Structures are given as structure tokens and as C-alpha cells.
């Protein structure tokens, strides 16, 4: 999938990659009084709002789940997982355009840019999901050892996000409308994914269309683990894994063929 030369390049430029991730993280909170504390305060506020509003004020209950926090956990699991997917794909589609000056002036493996996007997304996700995990423990809703089942689900999700992102990133260099179209498309994609509503409320004919949405299976896996405390239906994740692998292969193929032309186009 990834050539040995690419892997060597990534290893040789690991300092550049890690330094870029660190600089971007620091730049987000530069010139703010609280600095990096915002990385905790912002997601903490979101978790508290979702929990208090939906479980205590609106008294929302998840069908088939008696816990007062059931719907809040269901919602947070979906929103947090989708947030990382949307962040990686949205950032990846513009990564070559945003780094045009760097690409023209400095010689480095271009494959470093997708890796930087993924690592930034994982850092942000790790912070907010870590806080969410603390909430699960404090509220007595932690699912136990099945929590580890999130790792393969996360791997599929990241592969899908960067695969789609790389395809969009290359195409967006040559056809700038691609990025504009995807910003609209991803909004429809969000609402076609059972995040704020359970799939069970959909009409059967609409529910059947979810098999064509790879993120539906990924989000459902998060919700099954965190809400029900059970391992996901692994077979339902196979199509998502297949799409993730195919998109990564397509993205790398486009990248290899068009890497030289991209610099001229930029």
C-alpha cells in the first residue's frame, strides 16, 4: 500500500512532522490569556451542555436504554467521532493548497502532509475523548474492557478519513470546486448518519440505504460500545473497512501520479 521509500521518508522527516503538529497546536491558542487550557475548557463545556440539556432538562431517553445518560452518551459518542472524521477530511482537502509556499520552497516527502493532518486530528480527538471518558467513569457509565474495542473502530475511521481526504486534496489542487462541493456534501452526510437520532426511527426503505454510508457503521460501533457496553457487530464494519482501504489506495495512487504536477499547478 505504501512503498518502502515513503516509509523511509516519513521516518527521516519525523522531526518535521512532529514539529509541525506541535506548532499548529500551539498556534491555536497563541495570544489567549488561558492558552492551552482552552483545549480542556471548550470540549468540557460541550460535554456538560449535552449531558445537562438532554438528560436533565429535556429528559430525553434513548429507546431501549433506561439510563438517564443514555441519549447524552449516544449523542456525544456520535458527535465526537464525526467531529474527528470531518476535521481530518476537511483539513486534508486543503492541505496542499494551504502549504503551497512550503511545497514550492522546501524539498521534503509530500506524504508528510497527510500524516500531519491525521496526527493533529488525533491530538484534538484524544483530548476531548479523554474528557468524555472521565465523564463516563465519574457517572458510572464506563463500559469496561469492551472499551478497547474502540481501537480497531478508530483505525477504520482514520483510514477512511485520510483516504477520502487525500483523494479530495489532490483533486482540489486541479479542480477548486471540489472543496466547495464537499463542504456542502458533508453537511448532508452528517444528517444521513444516525448521530442525533437512532436508526430505528427511520422508515425501513430509508434505513436500508444506510448500508451505502460507511460512517453509519463506524458511528454505530462507537455507540454500541459506549452506550450498550457491548462489542460492535464486526461484520457490519467490513464494508466500511473495504471503503477505507480502497480510498487509501486511490488516494496514494493519485498522489504518486500527480505529486509533480501539483507543485506546478500551485
What is the chain's mean pLDDT, rounded?
A: 83
Q: Model pTM?
A: 0.87
Q: Does the pLDDT of residue 165 top 90, yes or no?
A: yes
Helix axes 112-138, 70-93, angle to 10 degrees: 170
Domain extent at residue 225: 4-265
Q: Which three cell numbers stand for residue 258?
A: 500527480
Structure confidence at residue 58 as a pLDDT band (50, 70, 90): low
**Burial letters for 78-106: b for 16+ Cβ neighbours within 10 Å, e otherwise?**
bbbbbbbbbbbbbbbbbbbbebeeebeee
| Length of the chain counted residue by residue | 266
**pLDDT tens column, 238-258:** 999 999 999 999 988 888 887
Cα distance between residue 42 and residue 35, in whole Å: 12
pLDDT at 71: 81
pLDDT at 238: 95
Q: Of 247, 187, 241, 223, whose CA–CA distance to 80 is shortest?
A: 223
Number of domains the chain is built from: 1
DSSP 3-state of 65: coil
Q: What is the dihedral of CA 47, 50, 51, 57, to 10 degrees?
A: 150
Under 8 Å between Cβ of 153 and 242: no
Amino acid at each position: 500500500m505504501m512503498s518502502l521509500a515513503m516509509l523511509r521518508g516519513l521516518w527521516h522527516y519525523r522531526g518535521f512532522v512532529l514539529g509541525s503538529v506541535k506548532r499548529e497546536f500551539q498556534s491555536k491558542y497563541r495570544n489567549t490569556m488561558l492558552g492551552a487550557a482552552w483545549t480542556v475548557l471548550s470540549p468540557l463545556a460541550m460535554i456538560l451542555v449535552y449531558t445537562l440539556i438532554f438528560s436533565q432538562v429535556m429528559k430525553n431517553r434513548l429507546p431501549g436504554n433506561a439510563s438517564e445518560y443514555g441519549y447524552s452518551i449516544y449523542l456525544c459518542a456520535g458527535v465526537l467521532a464525526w467531529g474527528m472524521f470531518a476535521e481530518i477530511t476537511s483539513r486534508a482537502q486543503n492541505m496542499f493548497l494551504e502549504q503551497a509556499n512550503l511545497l514550492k520552497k522546501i524539498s521534503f516527502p509530500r506524504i508528510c502532509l497527510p500524516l500531519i493532518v491525521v496526527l493533529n486530528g488525533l491530538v484534538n480527538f484524544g483530548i476531548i475523548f479523554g474528557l468524555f471518558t472521565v465523564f463516563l467513569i465519574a457517572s458510572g457509565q464506563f463500559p469496561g474492557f469492551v472499551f478497547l474495542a474502540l481501537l480497531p473502530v478508530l483505525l477504520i475511521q482514520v483510514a477512511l478519513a485520510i483516504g477520502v481526504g487525500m483523494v479530495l486534496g489532490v483533486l482540489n489542487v486541479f479542480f477548486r470546486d471540489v472543496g466547495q462541493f464537499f463542504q456542502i456534501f458533508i453537511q448532508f452526510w452528517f444528517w444521513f448518519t444516525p448521530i442525533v437520532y437512532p436508526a430505528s426511527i427511520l422508515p425501513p426503505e430509508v434505513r436500508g440505504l444506510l448500508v451505502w454510508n460507511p460512517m453509519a457503521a463506524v458511528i454505530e460501533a462507537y455507540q454500541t460500545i459506549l452506550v450498550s457496553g457491548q462489542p460492535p457487530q464486526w461484520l457490519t464494519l467490513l464494508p466500511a473497512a473495504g471503503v477505507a482501504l480502497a480510498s487509501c489506495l486511490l488516494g496514494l495512487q493519485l498522489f504518486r501520479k500527480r505529486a509533480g504536477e501539483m507543485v506546478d499547478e500551485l
